[in-house]
Chains A and B, each alone.
Chain A
Amino acid sequence: MTYADGTEDYINASWGWRSWLLTHDHKRIALLYLISITLFFFVGGFFALLIRLELLTPAGDLVQAETYNKLFTMHGLIMIFFFLIPSIPSVLGNFLIPLMIGARDLAFPRLNLLSWYIYIVGGVFTLAAVVTGGVDTGWTFYTPYSSTYANSNVILTALGVFITGFSSILTGLNFIVTIHKMRAPGLSWFRLPLFVWAHYATSLIMVLGTPVLAISITLILLERAFHIPIFDPKLGGDPLLFQHLFWFYSHPAVYIMILPGMGVVSEIITCYSRKKIYGYSFVAISSLAIAVLGFLVWGHHMFVSGQSPFAGMVFSMLSFLVAIPSGIKVFNWTATLYKGSISFDAPMLYALGFIGLFTIGGLTGLFLATLAIDVHVHDTYFVIAHFHYIMVGGAVMAYFGGIHFWWPKITGRLYPEVWARIAALIVFIGFNLTFFPQFLLGYLGMPRRYHAYPEEFQVWNVMSTAGASILGLGYLIPIIYLLWSLRYGRVATANPWNAMGLEWETPSPPPETNFAATPIVKEEAYSYDIHT
Chain B
Amino acid sequence: MSNTIVSTRTYVATFVLLLVLLALTIAAAYIPLGRFNWVAAMTISAAKTALIASCFMHLRSSHRLVWIAACAGCFWLALLMVLSLTDFWTRGWLLP
Q: Are A295 and B87 in contact (CB under 8 A)?
A: no
Query: Digit string of B54-96 for contact with A (CB within 8 Å is 1, else 0)?
Result: 0000000000010000001100100110011011101111101
A299 within 8 A of B: yes
Number of A interface residues, CB 8 Å? 21
Contacting B at CB under 8 A, from A85-138, are: none
Chain A residues with CB under 8 A of B93: 308-310
Partner of A299, one of B79, B87, B94, B96: B87
Bound: A311/B80 CA distance, A? 13
Please name all residues of chain A whose beta carbon is closer than 8 Å to the beta carbon of B86 when the two chains form the complex. 308, 310-311, 314
Question: A180-B65, A244-B84, A296-B83 in contact; A311/B90 too (CB < 8 A)?
Answer: yes
Give which listed residue, B76, B84, B91, B94, contacts A208 with CB less than 8 A: B76
Do the beta carbons of A240 and B87 come within 8 Å of each other?
A: yes
Q: Please tell me if the beta carbons of B84 and A296 are within 8 angstroms of each other in the complex.
A: no
With A and B bound together, what is the CA distance between A193 and B51 in angstroms? 40
- Would you call A307 an interface residue if the criterion is a C-beta within 8 Å of the partner chain's C-beta atoms? yes
Contact A311 B87 (CB under 8 A): yes
By a CB distance below 8 angstroms, the chain A residues around B96 are: 309
CA A240 – CA B72 in complex, angstroms?
Answer: 26
* Docked complex Cα distance between A315 and B96 (Å): 18
> Judging by beta carbons under 8 Å apart, are A308 and B73 in contact?
no
Cβ of A254 under 8 Å from chain B: no
| Binary contact track A291-322/B, C-beta < 8 Å → 1, others 0 | 00001101100100001111100110000000
Bound form: Cα–Cα A311–B73 in Å: 23
> Which of A487-515 touch B at CB < 8 Å?
none
- Complex CA gap A161/B93 in Å reads 37
A403 to B76, CA, bound (A): 34
A248 in the interface, Cβ–Cβ < 8 Å?
yes
Looking at the complex, which one of A208, A212, A244, A296 makes contact with B87 (CB distance below 8 Å)?
A244
- Which residue of the partner chain A has the closest CB to B87? A311
B87 touches A307 (CB 8 A): yes
A295:B94 contact, CB within 8 angstroms: no
The reply to whether A308 and B92 form a contact with Cβ atoms under 8 Å apart is yes
Q: Show 12 residue pairs from A and B whose CB-CB distance is below 8 angstroms, ordered by the A residue.
A: A208-B76, A240-B88, A244-B84, A244-B87, A245-B84, A248-B80, A296-B79, A299-B87, A308-B88, A309-B96, A311-B87, A315-B83
Interface residues, chain A, with chain B CB atoms under 8 Å away: 180, 208, 212, 238, 240-241, 244-245, 248, 295-296, 298-299, 302, 307-311, 314-315
The 8 lowest CB-CB distance pairs between A and B, nearest first, are A311-B87, A310-B90, A308-B90, A309-B94, A244-B84, A311-B86, A308-B91, A208-B76
